[in-house]
Amino acid sequence: MFDFHGKVAVVTGGARGIGKCIREKFEKAGATVCVIDLLDNDYFVGDLADKATLEKFAEKVIADYGHVDYLINNAAPKMCGITDGSYEDFEYAIRVGVTAPFYLSKLFMPYFAEGASIINISSSRDRMSQPQTESYTAAKGGIAALTHALAVSLSGRARVNSISPGWIDTAYTVYKGPDATQQPAGRVGNPMDIANMVLFLCSDKAGFITGENICIDGGMTKQMIYHGDCGWKLGK
């Protein structure tokens, strides 16, 4: 469906989960993929919260390939809450989830090829929350806002969009019963749901789309639920 031969894609957090799926989809479509992750991988192992690491990674990508076509800011920030999370925990989450995408965009900016695209992976938690998720929620809200700012600043140089996944089961578990039926789409999501959108947004077919956030959550954030609706009852 997509042909990315000759293209260079950078994927943060590309060693597992959604990032791994994105990497594999790009590779299948012919792209060269440069991964940075704390986990072992075949390109670059490093901590996205560290400025010097980001600079070394960017230097390696440019030395190896000379340009970047697609930057996928996917790495997940740490989740901690207001009760048990420390200052350092929260700061680390923001550095991984917001500062690193900003800085990598800045580092690669002079090397973006014609038709370049940045995709930021946010979350449906950028607009809704569970208790004790402050660091993750703040980071995901931050990267969603960063998206439209970058789209304006990089006008003519790169398109910038974000994706907000809902419940994505990275083990591809097929759920039955309420876990599935509560979703208007009738199932829980999997990494392919996100990877397919990433490749579309990077393609020429999405050439008139920039500054947008696309929520892929099976319709959950559109579903209004009150006590007593659809058999749901408040548990306290």
Residue 136 is a catalytic residue: yes
Q: Which residue of the set 43, 70, 92, 136 is catalytic?
A: 136
Rounded to 10°, the helix 191-202/17-28 angle is: 50
Distance CA 175, CA 192 (A): 16
Segment (H or E) for 3: none
Rounded to 10°, the helix 100-108/51-65 angle is: 30
Q: Tell me the helix, strand and coil percentages in the chain, rounded to 5.
A: 40, 20, 40
Q: Compute the Cα dihedral for 168, 173, 177, 180 and give only its sign.
A: positive
**Amino acid identity at 17:** G
Distance CA 16, CA 165 (A): 16
Collapsing DSSP states into helix, strand and coil, what is residue 137? helix
- Helices and strands per DSSP (H, E), number in the chain: 7, 7
Q: Using an 8 Å Cβ cutoff, are 93 and 136 in contact?
A: yes
Enumerate the active-site residues. Answer: 136
